[in-house]
Structure 1
Amino acid sequence: MPTTMELFLGFLGLGMMAFGGALPLAHRMLVERRRWLSEEEFTEMLGLCQFLPGGNMINMSVAVGMRFRGVRGGIAGLLGLIAVPSMVVVLLGMLYERYQNDPLVAHLFAGLAAAAAGLLVAMAIKIVRQLRGSLPMLIVAAICFCAIALLRLPLLWTMLAMTPVSIFIVKIGKRVRK
């Protein structure tokens, strides 16, 4: 079980490296390197954090911190995650204000957006691998993807509709396995 300081330092490191693509790096830190969560625990916690209002990684830092160290752990995870990015964003904002009309700056931001999209796709593939043994859950994931990405339905309404469906499917699946 990580200490409060380990939670702070873990999320501080994540916050220093994860501009625009924190989810794949969070998975690597929490599941692969530090082994604080299993694949299944990460996927479940991510689902909860996506359902809650606010940023996914902000929610994840608080949820992981609280799981291991209560309120102190939640605060440590949150502060670790946002400390460096907050300072960097302020500095970048000041630089952008001065150089926003420079074409090189526009190209820089286009490249950063492409890199962030690639990291997001990589994380989605890792999560889908977790679901590959469960056809019903893959169907739920596909329905959510189609509703949000293709039909452009609001995330909140899609989550409110599909959450009870997925809970029901998991319950039935557990009963069938017993």
Structure 2
Amino acid sequence: MLQVPSSEAAPLKLRVGCLELFTAFCSVGLSGFGGVLPWARRMLVEQRRWLTDEEFTNIVSLCQFLPGPNITSVSICVGARFAGLRGAIAAVSGILFVPVIIVILLAMLYDAYGHIGPVQDAFRGVSSAAAGLIVAMAIKMAYPLHRSIHAMVFMACAIAAVLVLKLPLIWILLTLVPPSIAASWIMRR
């Protein structure tokens, strides 16, 4: 059985400074790159308790619509929430600082050694691990929604549209977002 940590254990932190935002997101950037959303969720919801499960899911859902990497948009939203424009700049700087340096170094190494078989095998292994982390994060993010029938219906429709019908994401969003918002609005009334 999947164990999901309770986010009701301690009160949420309401005030976060720019330095704390920078170092927190910098630690997420150090944890991995090319798929750090699971680490960001763990840091924001479970460790630092800056957001609830539902707030994190809502922020990630919003950031799906924004251009660029989701984690960058999440860092901007979280930074702005706690410290305004300066917080947004601090958080996005923190999330990007280490990965930019790592990518530059890896590009130099790959240019020199990328043609070697074991190096290519290592890259395939890393991509498999990243896929597993994304699936695990999706399960954790979906867990708070398991009691909401309408959320589960829309989630099932979206998964079916992607996996079975192989529809483009833009058409899935344009089709499912308006009725999803309407259903959520009706359910809250």
TM-score (norm. length: structure 2): 0.89
| Cα distance in 1 between the residues matched to 2:32 and 2:95 | 9
In the alignment, is the contact (CA less than 8 A) between 1:15 and 1:81 conserved in 2?
Answer: yes
Report sequence identity in percent. 46
Whether contact under 8 Å (1:3, 1:69) holds in the other structure is: yes
Give a deviation string over 1:70-91, Cα, whole Å, max 9, x none. Answer: 1101110100000000000011
What amino acid does structure 1 have at the position aligned with 2:75? Answer: S
Using the alignment, how far apart are the partners of 2:105 and 2:96 within structure 1?
Answer: 14
Deviation, 1:102, is 0.4
Q: SS of the residue aligned with 2:46? A: helix
Cα distance, 1:43 vs structure 2:
0.5
The 2-side partners of 1:125 and 1:37 are apart by 18
Structure 1 segments unaligned to the other structure (5+ residues):
none
CA distance in 1, matches of 2:52, 2:168: 30
The equivalent residue for 1:165 is 179
Q: How many Å separate the matches in 1 of 2:124 and 2:16?
A: 38
Out of 113, 121, 124, the residue aligned to residue 135 of structure 2 is 121
The aligned counterpart of 1:86 is 100
Question: Which of 16, 33, 39 matches 1:2?
Answer: 16
Give CA deviations for 1:97-133 in whole Å, capped at 9, x if unaligned.
1111100011100110111011001101111211100
User: Greater share of helix residues, 1 or 2?
Assistant: 1
Q: Which amino acid aligns with 1:104?
A: P
Q: Is the 8 A contact 1:4 1:73 kept in 2?
A: yes
Q: What residue identity is the alignment partner of 1:69?
A: A
Does 2:168 align with 1:154? yes
Candidates 127, 144, 148, aligned match of 1:130: 144
* Paired residue type of 1:31: V
Counterpart CA distance in 2 for 1:120 and 1:36 is: 22
RMSD: 1.1
**Unaligned 5+ residue runs, structure 2?**
1-14
Matched positions, count: 175
